[in-house]
Amino acid sequence: MIKINHLNSCEEDFYVKLSKLLSFNSTEDKSIEQTVESILSDIKVQGDEALIKYTNQLDRINVKRSSELEIPKSKWLEALNSIPENQKKSLELSAARIRKYHEYQKIDTWQYTEDDGTTLGQKISAIDKVGLYVPGGKAAYPSSVLMNAIPAKVAGVPELIITSPTPDGYMNPLVLAAAAICEVDRILTIGGAQAIAALAYGTETIPQVDKIVGPGNAYVASAKKKVFGTVGIDMIAGPSEILIICDGKTPAEWIAMDLFSQAEHDELAQSILLCPDASFIKQVKIAIDKLLPEMPRQEILKKSLSNRGIMIHVKDLEEACDISNRIAPEHLEISIEDPNKILKLIKHAGAIFLGKFTSESLGDYCAGPNHVLPTSRTARFSSPLGVYDFQKRSSLINVSRTGAIKLGKIAVDLALGEGLQAHAASAQYRINGE
């Protein structure tokens, strides 16, 4: 029997215990930092030459020219036609649903004109060039290509470049197929910190991009942090989490499997169940023990469930919402009969899965919303990846002759109050006129 942490919300030191179980060790590895720094500076200075050197060395391949680091579009289409028909169709259906959902997120340029003819507004434009990092090898995730590429394309990004390493020359055909479906613009077979450096600084053959998104290992994450400012980046994700609030009326095996579907990601992934029904929590534990031996990834499941899993017996569903708000989970399943009843109590969560038929896995792959979500309590202040991450805004200000007199007086007062006389004089010129 697997032992999972069990808490009762009426214990006096409940929040102390909970906060211990939520924390995880995220010490930064100094040796990774140093390796990344020297890779970044080599690529910045030596460009393609260093890029080829690192790529050959780290991915165990033998490339002579930088042009060999690109996969031509014909190969993506070949891959799309080579994968099993059901997977191709599922990728296409999923892409269409993701596209439809994200269309709702698009915002448009707006402006308004005041009585005196002054016009104010906000111009929305897509980011020009975006790099999308896709981890390589056998554990490559085509769904992650869809979730990152589609919002960028919906935003209208004209140049979307995938970089993905090909260790020992292997490229996952599902990733190529997903890229073909998303109509990305280029695919480069580079990875690690060297790929991030090439995208951030540009080389002779790789253009400097404006933003880099996508998941990666510790080297990629460290490189992204270091180039932030030179280019934009998305959030650096922590371990994945699910929190399930259940009234005890969903089949216990469904809940057990939902907890598994988070825990199977990696050993640090966290699965939490909040339920007011003690006997249901027991049933879920029994289901876990029954189902675990059938699972191919049971070694990972055992470690993440026993170290990071938490079952919490709560007073009622309202208290469950309170506790959930403190945790601000990445994924929140409200597996209760009338989920909309308590939805208004939820303040912080990356994605909210409502009702017993909405398993997290449906959202991960094909419901439509993005699966790139804020982890580690950052849902308190950040949002799922979306079209808005690939759009930017410029303020528009066009002050009329009359408006300049009215606004100029205010600006002069405030600028002088702040001791900025040139600001005041510049406004005063417009009051005086030519």
Q: Binding to a copy of itself (CB under 8 A): which residues in 223-252?
A: 229, 231-232, 236, 251
Which residue in the block uniquely carries the two structure tokens 């534990």? 285
Q: Of 20 and 347, which CB lies nearer to a copy of itself in the complex structure? A: 347
Question: Is-contact 112 120, C-beta < 8 A?
Answer: yes
Is 330 considered catalytic here? yes
CB nearer a copy of itself, residue 7 or residue 221:
221
CB closer to a copy of itself out of 55 and 144? 144
The interface mask with a copy of itself, positions 109-138, x = CB under 8 A, is: -x-x-----xxx-xx-x-xx----------
Report 387-426 residues binding a copy of itself (CB under 8 A).
Answer: 388, 392-401, 403-404, 407-411, 413-415, 417-426
Q: What is the DSSP string of 322-368?
A: HHHHHH--SEEEEESSSTHHHHTT----SEEEESTT--HHHHHHTSS
| Rounded CA separation 72/80 (Å) | 13
Q: Distance between CA atoms of 255 and 245, rounded to whole angstroms?
A: 10
Binding mask 177-216 for a copy of itself (x = CB under 8 A): ---------------------------------xx-----
Query: For residues 165 and 350, which CB has a smaller minimum distance to a copy of itself in the complex?
Result: 350
Given the residues 102, 264, 313, 330, the one annotated as active site: 330
- What φ, ψ does residue 311 adopt, rounded to 5°? -110, 125
The 60-99 contact track toward a copy of itself, x by CB under 8 A, reads: --------------------------xx-xxx-xx-----
Q: Which residue, 100 or 315, has its beta carbon nearer to a copy of itself?
A: 100
Is 348 marked as binding a ligand? no
Cβ proximity to a copy of itself, 166 vs 376, nearer residue: 376
One-letter-per-residue 3-state SS of 76-142: HHHHHHHCCHHHHHHHHHHHHHHHHHHHCCCCCCEEEECCCCCEEEEEEEECCEEEEECCCCCCCCH
> What part of residues 267-306 is at the interface with a copy of itself (CB under 8 A)?
295-297, 301
Phi then psi for residue 188, to 5 deg, are -110, 135
Edge to edge, what strands does the sheet with 159-163 contain?
Answer: 186-188, 159-163, 129-133, 211-213, 232-233
Cα–Cα distance, 281 to 255 (Å, whole number): 10
The annotation status of 371 as a binding-site residue, yes or no, is no
CB contact at 8 A, 373 and 379:
yes
HSE (side-chain half, CA atoms, 13 Å) at 25: 3
Say how many residues touch a copy of itself, by CB under 8 A: 118
**194 appears as a binding residue in the annotation:** yes
Between the alpha carbon of residue 159 and those of residues 71, 95, 327, 386, the distances in Å are 16, 19, 38, 17
353 binds a copy of itself (CB under 8 A): yes
Q: How far is the CB of 133 from a copy of itself (least distance, A)?
A: 16
Question: In the stretch 37-56, what mask flags binding to a copy of itself with x, by CB under 8 A?
Answer: --------------------
- When asked if residue 23 is in the footprint of a copy of itself (CB under 8 A), the reply is no
Binding residues: 133, 194, 217, 240, 262, 265, 331, 364, 418, 423
Question: Could you give the residue numbers annotated as active site?
Answer: 330-331
